[in-house]
Amino acid sequence: MLEATRLMTLDEYIERYEREGAFEVYDGEIIPLMPNVTVHSWIIGTLYLLLDSFCKVHKLGKVMLESSFLLTQSRQWVKGSRVPDVAFYAADRFKAYIEANPDWLTTPMLLVPDLVVEVVSENDRYSDLHRKIAAYRADGVRLIWVVDYFTRSVNIYAGDHFSTLKEADMLTGGDVLPGFSVAVSELFTFDLEV
């Protein structure tokens, strides 16, 4: 469901997000986010744990899980918002951001991630997904991974380069996360041991 809206202040955005739940803003339209199904959450969790542990060991930056980042016309006016399933911010950019924004812990990120991951859900329409990918690219996200459980594949967008990986392939972080790699099949393996 799309809802037309006027430009909103950062305070209005935060208040509405807390009151009504997660949403994104694309070209002035508010798009509510649907609840995740189990497979979606499982894949997000797997990727988050892999990326977070790798980034901590190599001091590459910060990984965030289902966290908003905003595009602003100024610090007070929200131009757009995105909520990727997983986002990575390179260490130098993240450090500069938190030094320049002492309230960074109590506001959405006003910084475009270096990597975003979107996990396809049953309720996702491909037209909406393509719109989201186009927006990420226009925002300046350097690397985008679209993980699709239903086709057991990962689509990769890196600048003008596009590729698709299947279960037999290795997913790497390229120049955004140098040295990171994981078998695509591992993203679709569900360890049921408790």
For each of the domains in the chain, give its residue range(s) and CATH number, in order of start: 36-65+83-187 (3.90.1570.10)
Q: In the prediction, which pLDDT does 8 show?
A: 81
This prediction has a pTM of 0.86
Q: Residues 65-74: pLDDT tens digits? A: 988 888 876 6
Answer whether residue 60 shows pLDDT above 90. Answer: yes
Answer whether residue 4 shows pLDDT above 50. Answer: no
Task: Report the pLDDT averaged over residues 27-53.
Answer: 85
DSSP character for 152? T
Which of 70, 68, 89, 93 is closest to 80 using CA atoms?
70
Q: Is residue 172 a contact partner of residue 181, using CB atoms and an 8 Å limit?
A: yes
Answer whether residue 44 shows pLDDT above 50. Answer: yes
Q: Is residue 148 a contact partner of residue 122, using CB atoms and an 8 Å limit?
A: no
105 burial type by CB count under 10 A (0-12 exposed, 13-18 middle, 19+ buried): exposed
User: Which of 3-7, 34-38, 57-61, 181-185 shows the lowest mean pLDDT across its residues?
Assistant: 3-7
